[in-house]
A = this chain, B = another copy of it.
Amino acid sequence: MDYVYGPGRNHLFVPGPVNIPESVLRAMNRNNEDYRSPAVPAMTKTLLEDVKKIFKTTTGTPFLIPTTGTGAWESALTNTLSPGDRVISFLIGQFSLLWIDQQQRLGFNVDVIESDWGQGANLDIMASKLAADTQHSIKAICIVHNETATGVTNNLAKVRRILDDYRHPALLLVDGVSSICALDFRMDEWGVDVALTGSQKALSLPTGIGMVCASPKALEASKTAKSYRVFFDWKDYLKFYKMGTYWPYTPSIQLLYGLREALDLIFEEGLDNVIARHTRLATATRLAVEAWGLKNCTQKEEWFSDTVTAVLVPSYIDSSEIVRRAWKRYNLSLGLGLNKVAGKVFRIGHLGNLNELQLLGCLSGVEMVLKDVGYPVKLGSGVGAAAAYLQNSTPLIQSRI
């Protein structure tokens, strides 16, 4: 028995886990295999090569760890840092908060730069800290590319510029959980030392692969980093990479085949087209929010996220009630407001393998829920505004021209 039933499909618009394409479900619908047979290493080899493309790196080394985003964070930190190391970290929402919590619990000396939730990372403060750090006591900058709780995208190119301006050798560790494969991300060009994401986000797979990519500098750092680690230790992977068997412990066969298909879909569409599609759907969403007379939690356009939109509701409405009713009444899954913005925002995830009509169906649902909870929205207004943009801007589906 399923624990959820209503006629028709669930409309999944949380910012992860996201909708899995049917062809990926198909690819994963298979028995286990011996991962020590010649077949699995052969597949793994090409997977690792192809994974580098979604990080836009040629020099990085990817690790496909059987874990979640939280585990990927831990892998990034423990392989490159030692307890007591000073790191700069930005608190701008719930997920950066959780990462900072992890950094503290792993024994690092975390220098937190806080912003209002809805604002991006304060890079001016970072710059002044770097300027003051002539002794290079700062070992790493930890930053989320996209804060999933508030829909804020940070400017990584600028972070790199500042580091370069001060010729500061700190490692740049980037949480790309809700960005990679959806937002413009350039590991090599931006000098990112560790980048990471989870399979259940823009890659549109089930949870289960924490994808971590390390620069040569990060690999070098891992040789001296003293944090205790075994499961997350890159060293074991590197040893098996060298042997050509690739896996220090049992991978999920199903996820490997799923990843193969997910990558194939991305490459067939074209990674840059995938990113452009995210921008289009996000723009349409923001136009709908505007048409409803509501505000984006993100305070400035420069930080607008193309993977998730956090919508502020009037103070007389509890945003949790919106999320609850959307699911109960329309089989629409939206994201809750978390922590500081609990009750104040609801979130529309628009990342992963999605198209225009799926999004418009979601927006029509949001409109009905808004009316259900007493907000005087004109039904069709947001959908119409979004459609007006999409109808003008959307190219034909490439493969059908």
Contact = CB atoms under 8 A, between A and B. Distances in A.
A232 to B, nearest CB: 8
B361 A357 contact: yes
A360 B358 contact: no
Contacts of A253: 17, 206-207
B3 A397 contact: no
Contact of A364 (B18, B21, B36, B387): B387
A109 interface: no
A30 B39 contact: no
Contacts of A38: 327, 400
Interface residues of A, number: 121
Contacts of A274: 7
Nearest to A11: B357
A135 to B, nearest CB: 26
Interface stretch (A54-62, A118-126, A223-231): A223-231
Contacts of A66: 66-68, 71, 207-208
A355 to B, nearest CB: 3
A8 B250 contact: no
A315 interface: no
Interface stretch (A151-159, A183-191, A371-379): A371-379
B20 A31 contact: yes
Nearest to A107: B228
The count of identical subunits is 4
A207 B251 contact: yes
Contacts of A3: 39-40, 42-43
Contacts of A171: none
Contact of A206 (B228, B254, B328): B254
Contacts of A249: 68-70
Interface in A202-255: 206-208, 227-233, 248-255
Contacts of A5: 265, 268, 397, 399
Given A10-B31, A12-B33, A208-B252, 17 more contacts: A5-B399, A7-B274, A8-B354, A9-B355, A22-B29, A26-B27, A28-B28, A28-B254, A66-B71, A66-B207, A66-B208, A200-B250, A207-B252, A228-B228, A327-B400, A357-B365, A364-B364
Interface of A: 2-12, 14, 16-23, 25-40, 42-43, 66-71, 73-74, 83, 101-102, 105-107, 198, 200, 206-208, 227-233, 248-255, 257, 265, 268-269, 274, 277, 327-333, 335-336, 353-358, 360-362, 364-365, 367-368, 371-372, 378-385, 387-388, 390-391, 394, 396-401
28 contacts: A2-B23, A3-B42, A4-B33, A9-B19, A9-B22, A10-B31, A26-B26, A28-B28, A29-B29, A36-B335, A36-B336, A37-B327, A38-B327, A66-B67, A66-B208, A69-B249, A105-B228, A106-B228, A208-B208, A331-B397, A360-B383, A361-B361, A367-B387, A368-B390, A379-B384, A379-B388, A380-B384, A380-B387
